[in-house]
Structure 1
């Protein structure tokens, strides 16, 4: 367990507070998990963001009439802190009975509070249900490797030694799998996700990638650190010219978390998948 997480509200009974309470947000420093991966804030080999989508966002108009919407929050991958997910939900719940004069005021409040917790500016976008409906469901790029016929018996911890590549061939391709699963490091509840890998480098053996992804199945860690571990293991193996790894996790408590890590300054699209 992350040393700070045991003091968070995660896994504990919590009072429902329905009026604006920014103190509910619980930041967790990234530094300890970076250190486990041999990284510091100054040596991160990637850039990117964590997209958080809130499907239970509501507040009051000055008239007292409630509004519902979908919130998108963009947290920089190099921010000093992540925001513990249950505290994030409790904070958003505290808006439910809180009036705001207009949508711009709500956005400004969210930006200020979330940026203070993350330690870097957080992007905020509030979308109507009709906007999200019109956008539709996205599909991950490239080849899905889930139908490969592989034998797997490793589930407890990530096993990078399973990964194989052909150094004699340099290729560019996109792969994805919907078989990513890990466990919350505090509650041990399952976190389900899909993961995409886009790279140019030594040809990656697809079956070995699938076995490696499944080896996370009983691993306990936060979403962000799982994606960072996958990125680092692939970078070490492939020595790629470019590499992007991202995961789209299934929502829990009305929130989904989608970490993106890349060697490139890529144009990111936050598009929900069928399970989200």
Structure 2
């Protein structure tokens, strides 16, 4: 299914009775084909979703709440369209469940079916909210650079690296990532961290490249995969990991992670802007 067929950007009826049919899948392959991702994926990783507006009723009718976290494997055939995800989670609001475990089981079953792969689901109840972590990206900030920017559509030619020099290992980040929803045109604000080993990437060119997404339309996952593919093609690092954390919209934030080497999965620590 395509974004144009989804409920995104259309008037909808909000239901508060559990309804798994509200979930809408988006095929990953279409966007991957457009940027030259081969059938054998050159990366692995996960999309980490956090949902802050999940509520349901216990069997006595008392509202319950939790923060939900979803780990969608990067090799799943589909992603979930975000507005359909919000509508789906909203459908729990006036539905009675026996326990938080039953809520978790229902979400895991439904979202896994839509994504076409097993999705891990964690629900954090209020008693554990204090354990949720906030931190900022580690590494060297590209935003320190004082430079001119005048390209606002993705341009891989802005990227370059010293491929003939001694390889370096760097962790770089920027808080200046912005892209736009491919259906509504609404802005998606984010931060991106890039870890690599290889010829040193030109920092100014990399920052200009990140800024070049500013008027680009694409889902969060697609933008991160495009960044990964462009850096691999233009800079040819031996190892590369790209991790973006986007600010929440509709009570959801989406945080894609892609790597071609063995790194621990992200710890899902929330950035201040999220």
For this structure pair, what is the TM-score category when the shorter chain's length is used for normalisation?
Answer: over 0.9
- SS, match of residue 262 in structure 2: coil
2:32 equivalent to 1:13: no
Matched residues in 1 for 2:37 and 2:247: separation? Answer: 27
Deviation string for 1:146-186 (max 9, x for gaps)? 0201111011x201101121121310010000000000000
| Preserved CA contact (<8 Å) 2:194 2:241 | yes
Q: Which residue of 1 aligns with 2:78?
A: 81
TM-aligned CA deviation for residue 130 of structure 1: 4.7
Matched residues in 2 for 1:139 and 1:201: separation? Answer: 25
- SS, match of residue 146 in structure 1: helix
Matched residues in 2 for 1:45 and 1:180: separation? Answer: 23
**Aligned partner (choices 148, 162, 165) of residue 161 of structure 2:** 165
Q: Which residue of 1 aligns with 2:132?
A: 135
What are structure 1's unaligned runs of at least 5 residues? none
Runs of 4+ in 1 over 4 A off after TM superposition: none
- SS, match of residue 169 in structure 1: coil
| Preserved CA contact (<8 Å) 2:178 2:189 | yes
What are structure 2's unaligned runs of at least 5 residues? none
TM-score, with normalisation over the residues of structure 2? 0.97
| Preserved CA contact (<8 Å) 1:60 1:98 | yes
TM-aligned CA deviation for residue 242 of structure 1: 1.2
In the alignment of these two chains, the number of paired residues is 272
- SS, match of residue 167 in structure 2: strand
| Preserved CA contact (<8 Å) 1:47 1:265 | no
Matched residues in 2 for 1:164 and 1:133: separation? Answer: 43
2:88 equivalent to 1:91: yes
Deviation string for 1:58-96 (max 9, x for gaps)? 011111110111000110111010100000000000001
TM-score, with normalisation over the residues of structure 1? 0.96
**Aligned partner (choices 32, 36, 39) of residue 38 of structure 1:** 36
**Aligned partner (choices 229, 236, 239) of residue 236 of structure 2:** 239
C-alpha spacing 1:237/1:129, structure 2 compared with 1 (3 Å): farther
| Preserved CA contact (<8 Å) 2:29 2:77 | yes
2:176 equivalent to 1:148: no
RMSD between aligned residues: 1.1
